């Protein structure tokens, strides 16, 4: 099994940037696609971005496209989410997740393993 630990969350002003990291340990995750999701209290977990196993393909939700960038470094067993021009609606707990389905990659129930999440707060 793969264990995921997210980091890099915090408080940022609207328009600012943060870079989240997701460090993997256990078995190698280099053959798995990886995704980022976010969740606010009382709402369902929302797809943010996905990267293919080798980083060659990326997918984004419409709400973050053009502002967020997902990437990975398999040699470092780490996935990143660069978030630019953060807005107050970006306030959430951000989760890293592994595998999922290439045919329905926005569905959180299709991902096999998850991190514990990191809080991002955006002040207006």
Q: What is the pLDDT along the chain (124 residues), one digit of tens a residue?
A: 899 999 999 999 999 999 999 999 998 889 999 999 999 999 999 999 999 999 999 999 999 999 999 999 999 999 999 999 999 999 999 999 999 888 889 999 999 999 999 999 999 8
Q: Which residues contact 39 (CB under 8 A, 6 or more apart)?
A: 45, 46, 92, 93, 95, 117
Predicted local confidence at residue 28, as pLDDT: 82
Between the CA of residue 55 and those of 35, 52, 58, what are the distances in Å?
A: 11, 5, 7
Give the position of tokens 């995750």.
29
Cβ–Cβ under 8 Å, residues 81 and 94:
yes
Phi, psi values for residue 52, rounded to 5°: -70, 175
Could you tell me the two tokens for 22?
């997701």
Give the position of tokens 């976010």.
38
């Amino acid at each position: 099994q793969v264990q995921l630990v997210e980091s890099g969350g915090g408080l940022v002003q609207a328009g600012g940037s943060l870079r989240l990291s997701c460090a993997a340990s256990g078995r190698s995750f280099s053959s798995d696609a990886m995704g980022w999701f976010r969740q606010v209290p009382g709402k369902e977990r929302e797809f943010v971005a996905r990267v293919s196993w080798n980083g060659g393909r990326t997918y984004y939700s419409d709400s973050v496209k053009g502002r967020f960038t997902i990437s990975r470094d398999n040699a470092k067993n780490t996935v990143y989410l660069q978030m630019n021009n953060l807005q107050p609606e970006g306030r959430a707990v951000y989760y890293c997740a592994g595998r999922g389905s290439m045919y329905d990659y926005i569905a959180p129930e299709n991902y096999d393993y998850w991190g514990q999440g990191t809080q991002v707060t955006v002040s207006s």
